[in-house]
Amino acid sequence: MASESTLLDPSIFEYLKDNLEEESRIRETLTQIIQRLERSVASAQALLSRVHSTPRSRYPTLVAQVETAIQEQVSVIGELNELASQHPYYKYNSKWARAIQNAISSAIVCAWLGGLPSVGTPSLGRLLTLEEIGAVFKVPTHLKDRDAFHITLEEYLLSLTDVTHELSRLATNAVTMGDFELPLTISAFIKDLFAGFQLLNLKNDILRKRADAVKYDVKRVEDVVYDLSLRGLIKRAGEGDTEMKSE
Amino acid sequence: MSGVKRDRDGNARVKPAPQDGPRGRFHDMFEGFRDELDEHHDRRERIIKASRDVTALSKKIVKHLGKGIPPGTQKDVDSKLEDIAKLLTSVAPDLQSLNRYRYSYSLRCLEEFVEALSFLHYLRHQTLISKGEVDAAMPADISLTPHDYLYGVFDLFGEMMRFATVTTAQMGELVGNEAGRNILSDIHELSCAYEMLPEIPTKDYRGKMEVMRQSVQKVEKLGYGIVVRGSERPKGWIPDMKDDAPAPTSP
């Protein structure tokens, strides 16, 4: 092409090449951090799964172990925060969204079981708010005015649907271990969450799909409570003097 | 469970009558979430609508340009560019800071817009518009990502191919200048530049590369046809491409 004019200014494709190479470097580094986060989340979840065979009296021991695992997540998420905040948040967030959701749900379940005293007042059956989750992981939540790493509202809501699933399973297993009170706490908790989800105007997306599934968790726990009530295994309010006697 | 129905504009929704009776423990919290999600959905719908219109206008510009740039076309193109400017300006506040990448997928019109701009630029100057020039031509306060640029220029291949086909049929030779450059050498140069980029491992990218190669081959066939049968062919004849392998469609 011997001509004074050329089609391409070479700097155009140099720019694109540099850009693509930088992007793939960032993705690689992110992948490494996220893999460590996934491993750490998996170990917290593995510990938490023991709750299904742990009597309530031993929750504190179990919860303490989970707290240690969560601390590990906190440090990995700190690294992720540092790297991801240098880039547009939504450019890469799909890479870590799932891992972060699992981290959130492990923290919520841990706090529900009475753990994480550093944030809020520990008690059985409490719900960590989105802000409290941010405090646990030491990252901002639901950012609107600046572009940096944070935990999104959607991630929190999706995690809640994992929590209701986990707790509905716990209701059954608590009964097996002779704990007839816990299903009542769980039932009230999940019902309140379900009522909350019903307030949302959901679009036809993943959140709707997952929120729709919460009703099955409600039902599972209701069935457990029904079984217990039918057999007189739970104390009713005002029970005692007014209890129906068959004789 | 179902949310409250909303109309197509996404704003006029019937508020449920305030319910009496006990409010759940998390009622207030979820009400806050609902407002945030509504805001997000409304914003996204505004962007999708504007994006759809910008896409349509960009395609119309490209269609006009297929005829070259007589003055009438120029006026048409200008008025369409103005419409695009209005549409993009209307959603610019929704796309600041964090939200630029959040709604990237809903804002795919920018690729089409870049395609139109790059084609226009090529016809006028016979050069590839640079990222900086596209940035300067952005009519609204919306940042253009390298991705928008890269994918927009991908679509330029299809337009060059169509333009080459039509002009060859009309003039009996490949359009070009006195300096020896013609549309075939240009499309070759551009495709080589793309081939040399590091590969992006997405299906989307591979698909675009494939379509690009097909466009290049079609222009190569035109050049071949002129050399081999140049003197025999009557005006208005175009190489028969029906015997091509599985006829690819370009974007």
| CATH number, domain with residue A66 | 1.20.58.190
Residue A13 lies in a domain: no
On whether both A31 and A124 belong to a single domain, the answer is: yes
Distance CA A17, CA B193 (A): 10
On whether both A34 and A142 belong to a single domain, the answer is: yes
Question: Which of A2, A7, A201 is facing B189, going by the closest CB pair?
Answer: A7
Closest CA to B179 of A196, A2, A197: A2
- Of the three residues A132, A151, A170, the one that is the final residue of a domain is A151
pLDDT at A245: 46
Phi/psi at A31 (5° precision): -60, -40
- Of the three residues A118, A151, A184, the one that is the final residue of a domain is A151
Mean of pLDDT over chain A: 92
Q: Which of A9, A11, A201, A216 to mutate to test the interface with B (most CBs of B within 10 A)?
A: A201
Model confidence at B201, pLDDT cuts 50, 70, 90, reads confident
Mean pLDDT of A20-30: 95
Report the percent of chain A where pLDDT is more than 70. Answer: 93
Residues A224 and A172: beta-carbon distance below 8 Å? yes
Residue A164 lies in a domain: yes
Residue A3 lies in a domain: no
Report the percent of chain A where pLDDT is more than 90. Answer: 88
On whether both A171 and A186 belong to a single domain, the answer is: yes
Residue A52 lies in a domain: yes
Model confidence at A247, pLDDT cuts 50, 70, 90, reads very low
Q: Total structural domains in chain A?
A: 2
On whether both A177 and A73 belong to a single domain, the answer is: no
Mean pLDDT of A97-112: 97
Summarised one tens digit per residue, pLDDT across range A176-222 is 999 999 999 999 999 999 999 999 999 989 999 999 999 999 999 99
Model confidence at B180, pLDDT cuts 50, 70, 90, reads confident
Min mean pLDDT across B3-7, B155-159, B194-198 is at: B3-7
On whether both A190 and A229 belong to a single domain, the answer is: yes
Distance CA B77, CA A83 (A): 44
On whether both A135 and A107 belong to a single domain, the answer is: yes
Which two three-digit tokens encode residue B179?
């300096």
Query: A21: helix, coil or strand?
Result: helix
Does the pLDDT of residue B8 top 50, yes or no? yes
Rounded to an integer, what is the distance from CA A48 to the centroid of its chain? 13
Distance CA A151, CA A141 (A): 5
On whether both A173 and A198 belong to a single domain, the answer is: yes
Does the pLDDT of residue A61 top 80, yes or no? yes
Residue-range domain boundaries for chain B: 145-230
Min mean pLDDT across B1-15, B116-130, B138-152 is at: B1-15
Long-range contacts at A15-23 (CB < 8 A, ≥ 24 apart): A15/B131, A15/B146, A16/B131, A16/B146, A16/B149, A16/B150, A16/B197, A17/B196, A17/B197, A17/B198, A19/B146, A20/B146, A20/B197, A20/B198, A20/B200, A21/B198
Contact B128 A7 (CB under 8 A): yes
pLDDT at B242: 54
Model confidence at A2, pLDDT cuts 50, 70, 90, reads very low
- Of B178 and B86, the one with more pLDDT: B86
pLDDT at A239: 55
Mean pLDDT of B70-93: 90
Summarised one tens digit per residue, pLDDT across range B12-66 is 655 555 555 567 789 999 999 999 999 999 999 999 999 999 999 999 999 888 7
Model confidence at A243, pLDDT cuts 50, 70, 90, reads very low
**b/e B195-206 (16+ beta carbons within 10 angstroms → b):** eebeebeeeebe
Model confidence at A1, pLDDT cuts 50, 70, 90, reads very low
Residue A246 lies in a domain: no
Instruction: Look at the block and give the residue holding tokens 């295994």.
Output: A233
Query: A151: helix, coil or strand?
Result: strand
Contact A215 B1 (CB under 8 A): yes
Distance CA A104, CA A48 (A): 13
Min mean pLDDT across B9-23, B145-159, B182-196 is at: B9-23
pLDDT at B237: 58
Closest CA to A68 of A115, A36, A108, A112: A115
On whether both A163 and A141 belong to a single domain, the answer is: no
On whether both A50 and A143 belong to a single domain, the answer is: yes
- What is B145-230's CATH superfamily? Translin; domain 2 (1.20.58.200)
Model confidence at A141, pLDDT cuts 50, 70, 90, reads very high
Contact A202 B3 (CB under 8 A): yes
DSSP track, chain B: -----B-TTS--BPPPPPP-SPPPTTHHHHHHHHHHHHHHHHHHHHHHHHHHHHHHHHHHHHHHHTT---HHHHHHHHHHHHHHHHHHHHHGGGGSTTHHHHTTGGGTHHHHHHHHHHHHHHHHHSSPPPHHHHHHH--SS-PPPHHHHHHHHHHHHHHHHHHHHHHHHHHSS--B-TTS-BHHHHHHHHHHHHHTSPPP-SHHHHHHHHHHHHHHHHHHHHHHHHHHHTTTPPTT-----TTSSS-----
Q: CATH code at A229?
A: 1.20.58.200
Q: At what angle do helices A182-199 and A206-230 cross, to 10 degrees?
A: 150
On whether both A83 and A121 belong to a single domain, the answer is: yes
Does the pLDDT of residue B68 top 70, yes or no? no
Mean pLDDT of A133-138: 97
Distance CA A23, CA A20 (A): 5
Mean pLDDT of A73-87: 96
Distance CA A148, CA A168 (A): 35
Does the pLDDT of residue A83 top 90, yes or no? yes
H or E segment to which residue A108 belongs: helix A89-112
Domain that holds residue A225: 153-234
Question: Which of A88, A157, A211 is facing B101, going by the closest CB pair?
Answer: A88
Summarised one tens digit per residue, pLDDT across range B234-243 is 666 555 655 5
Contact B37 A202 (CB under 8 A): yes
Residue A240 lies in a domain: no
According to DSSP, the residues that pair with B13 across neighbouring strands are B6
Question: Which of A20, A143, A215 is facing B197, going by the closest CB pair?
Answer: A20
Q: Which of A194, A200, A219 to mutate to test the interface with B (most CBs of B within 10 A)?
A: A200
Mean of pLDDT over chain B: 85
pLDDT at B231: 59
- Of the three residues A151, A176, A194, the one that is the final residue of a domain is A151
Closest CA to A50 of A59, A42, A41: A59
On whether both A85 and A158 belong to a single domain, the answer is: no
- From B204's Cα to the closest Cα of chain A, the distance in A is 15
On whether both A69 and A96 belong to a single domain, the answer is: yes
Write out chain A residues lying below 8 Å of B39, CB-based: none
